[in-house]
């Protein structure tokens, strides 16, 4: 029997990048998967088609994580489709990198609305709608440990995600739900590579003990473990997935 047989997983921002790899790996391990996306319908449909072609179960549901009503709809539609949700992965996120002096009110609000309010919105839904004995995995970032200039608002949002994680773990523990965050290091996706010259990417890759960037699959493998019954005693933790970057 596969590790996640009979489980249902909801992954936000799963149309591409790390989220798409997480959705595929969860499905490969037996979970039925809801692939959430905001604007990338074609990419989300491709993620679903690849899962189905590999013999898995998946559907795509649109919803902007920063909108309360979209997240209520997302949870209700997912439960209508698959009967329950056991695993929530809060992966959707954006990264705006600017010096504080150049950061506009709009930059600040957008970053917090998606990364923090988005995570808050799904946790609030999960508090009453996630199945007993479920798992929540939230995406933070190793940048919270690195203090690079221009990352202030981004790491502020991810610090908030880690704190939401710790408190939510205490709030839902009685239902057997474990709640953790993971902090990938530099990982080879559009969010990371967009606008970066090759030399910057090489320098960031060299921060790892393995002298390479992380791949979405490196992250997905750990999410499957954290969502499995074997990881139940891990809760309220933040785990670095970064090849010894920090
Ligand atoms: P990508 O930019 O490659 O993908 C982002 C995903 O989030 C897309 O599927 C996008 O979907 C979705 N998304 C964006 N905004 C929303 C929204 N408002 N509502 C729902 N979905 C949304 O990012 P990554 O895969 O690199 O990052 C995934 C997570 O990992 C993020 O939380 C990021 O902060 C974190 N992370 C990434 C690292 C990296 O180096 N790549 C390192 C550490 C952490 P759509 O296109 O449909 O809007």
Kindly give the number of the ligand 1 atom that is closest to the alpha carbon of 219.
30
Instruction: Please tell me the predicted confidence (pLDDT) of residue 63.
Output: 99
**Residue 176 corresponds to which tokens in the numbers above?**
């057997």
Radius of gyration of the chain (CA): 17
DSSP state of 13: T
Q: Which atom of ligand 1 is nearest to the CA of 70?
A: 19
Q: Whose CA is nearest to atom 10 of ligand 1?
A: 13
Query: What's 183-204 look like in SS3?
Result: EECCECCHHHHCCCCHHHHHHH
Q: What is the DSSP string of 87-136?
A: EEEE---------GGG--HHHHHHHHIIIIIHHHHHHHHHHHHSPTT-EE
CA of 190 relative to ligand 1 center, distance in Å? 9
Residue 100 has a pLDDT of 98
Nearest to 138 by CA among 59, 245, 219: 219
Rounded Cα–Cα distance for residues 14 and 30 (Å)? 17
H or E, element range at 62:
strand 57-62
Please report the pLDDT score of residue 72 as a whole number: 99
Q: How far is CA 232 from the centre of its chain?
A: 19
- Output the CA 14–ligand 1 centroid distance in Å: 8
Q: How far is the CA of 18 from the centre of ligand 1 (A)?
A: 7
Return the best residue to mutate from 12, 15, 17, 116 for the ligand 1 pocket (most ligand atoms within 8 A of CB): 17
Q: Are 162 and 236 in contact (CB under 8 A)?
A: no
Residues flanking ligand 1, CB < 6 Å: 12-19, 36-40, 64-66, 91-95, 114, 118, 139, 141, 184, 186-187, 189-192
On whether the CB atoms of residues 186 and 192 are closer than 8 A, the answer is: yes
Q: How far apart are CA 26 and CA 47, in angstroms?
A: 12
Residue of the nearest CA to atom 39 in ligand 1?
187
Distance 45 CA to ligand 1 centre (A): 16
- Crossing angle of the two packed helices 216-227 and 17-28, in degrees rounded to 10: 50
Of 125, 157, 130, 129, nearest to 143 by C-alpha is 157
CA distances from 199 to 100, 186, 193, 204, 227 (A): 24, 14, 11, 9, 36
| Measured distance CA(211)–CA(202) in Å, rounded | 8
Tell me the three state secondary structure of residue 48: helix
Nearest in space to 126 (alpha carbons), one of 171, 181, 63, 166? 171
φ, ψ dihedrals at 98, nearest 5°: -150, 150
The pLDDT tens digits for 3-19 are 999 999 999 999 999 99
Q: pLDDT tens digits for 20-68?
A: 999 999 999 999 999 999 999 999 999 999 999 999 999 999 999 999 9
Is 108 noted as a catalytic residue in this protein?
no
84 vs 64: CA distance, rounded Å: 21
Q: In the prediction, which pLDDT does 84 show?
A: 99
Structural domains of the chain, ranges and CATH numbers in brackets? 8-238 (3.40.50.720)
In the predicted model, residues of the chain with pLDDT beneath 70 are none
């Amino acid at each position: 029997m596969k590790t996640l047989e009979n489980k249902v997983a909801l992954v936000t921002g799963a149309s591409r990048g790390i989220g798409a790899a997480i959705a595929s790996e969860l499905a490969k391990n037996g979970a039925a998967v809801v692939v959430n996306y905001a604007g990338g319908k074609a990419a989300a449909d491709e993620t679903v088609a690849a899962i189905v072609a590999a013999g898995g179960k998946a559907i795509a549901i649109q919803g902007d994580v920063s909108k309360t009503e979209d997240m209520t709809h997302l949870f209700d539609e997912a439960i209508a489709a698959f009967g329950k949700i056991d695993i929530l992965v809060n992966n959707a996120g954006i990264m705006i990198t600017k010096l504080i002096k150049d950061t506009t009110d709009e930059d600040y609000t957008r970053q917090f609305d998606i990364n923090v309010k988005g995570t808050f919105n799904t946790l609030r839904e999960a508090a009453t709608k996630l199945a007993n004995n479920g798992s929540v995995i939230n995406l933070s970032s190793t940048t919270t440990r690195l203090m690079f200039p221009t990352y202030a608002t981004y790491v502020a949002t991810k610090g908030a995600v880690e704190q939401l994680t710790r408190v939510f773990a205490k709030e839902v523990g009685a239902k057997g739900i474990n709640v953790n965050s993971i902090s990938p290091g530099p990982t080879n996706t559009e969010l990371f590579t967009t606008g970066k010259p090759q030399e910057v990417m090489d320098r960031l890759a060299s921060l790892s003990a393995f002298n390479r960037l992380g791949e979405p699959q490196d992250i997905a493998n750990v999410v499957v473990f954290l969502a499995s019954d074997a990881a139940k005693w891990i809760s309220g933790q933040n785990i670095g997935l970064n090849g010894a970057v920090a």
